[in-house]
Amino acid sequence: MRFTSSELSFRTIITASLVSIGILFAVAYVIFQARFLIIGPQIVLTTEPAMVHNEHVVFLEGTAFNISRLWLNDRQIFTDGGGNFKEALVLENGYTMSTLRAEDRYGRATTLERSFVYTPASVIQ
């Protein structure tokens, strides 16, 4: 069976096009699967606590994504299987600064800082 040059070039064009499309889909799939590695660690607070409190304890509750370690004021805290955490923070009299810091397995880190003011109930009223 002999092919003419026009049939051969058409077959070459179709083959090259299919191979190019296949490579494009493979690269797109790899980038899609690597999106979490590209984004890096993330911390999201589920409920944003108020700045002024009349109780000594405030709870920081949220979710951490793409992390290997998580700290609250340089004390390691832990998440459940879904990345959720709920941690108590004891407020000092006056101004307290809290820092949530997350790190991924490649050493990239992100921080989330919140400030709180403890005022006894008798002073607020």
User: Quick one: which of 4, 125, 119, 115 has its CA closest to 50?
Assistant: 115
- Please give the helix or strand (H or E) that residue 82 lies within, else none: none
User: Which ranges of 34-119 does DSSP label H, i.e. alpha helix?
Assistant: 35-39
For residue 34, what pLDDT is reported?
85
Q: pLDDT (tens digit, 9 = 90+) per residue, 98-116?
A: 999 999 988 999 999 999 9
For residue 104, what pLDDT is reported?
92
Ordered by start, the domain boundaries in the chain are: 5-33, 41-124
Mean pLDDT by 10 residues, the chain (125 residues): 64 91 95 84 92 92 94 95 94 93 93 93 59
C-alpha to C-alpha distance for 125 and 118, rounded to whole angstroms: 14
* Cα radius of gyration (the chain): 27
For residue 108, what pLDDT is reported?
92
The CATH H-level superfamily of 41-124 is Immunoglobulins (2.60.40.10)
